[in-house]
Amino acid sequence: MSKKKMQFEVRENESIDECLNRMKQEGYLPVRRTEKPIFQEVKKNNETIYEPVARQIIFEGKIIE
């Protein structure tokens, strides 16, 4: 028995479409998209600044019945 809900992260060398196709192949339909920024610490003039360098995209999938 599969889980009713599952999270799918867009992998590093994967497009959003490829992730959505992977979800479909596993029998899940996307119901929510979440994006989280990934920051990098940069030190400038005795100050620490956090700069966004990437983003993590996660889709929540619901099983297709």
Sign for the CA dihedral angle at 21, 22, 25, 29 comes to: negative
Query: How confident is the model at residue 15, as a pLDDT?
Result: 96
Rounded Cα distance between 60 and 8, Å, is 6
Q: Which domain does 59 fall in, by range? A: 5-63
Rounded Cα distance between 47 and 1, Å, is 52
Domain count within the chain: 1
Residuewise pLDDT in 10s, the chain (65 residues): 567 999 999 999 999 999 999 999 999 999 999 999 999 999 988 899 999 999 999 999 999 88
Query: How confident is the model at residue 51, as a pLDDT?
Result: 92
What is the reported pTM? 0.78
Rounded Cα distance between 51 and 21, Å, is 32
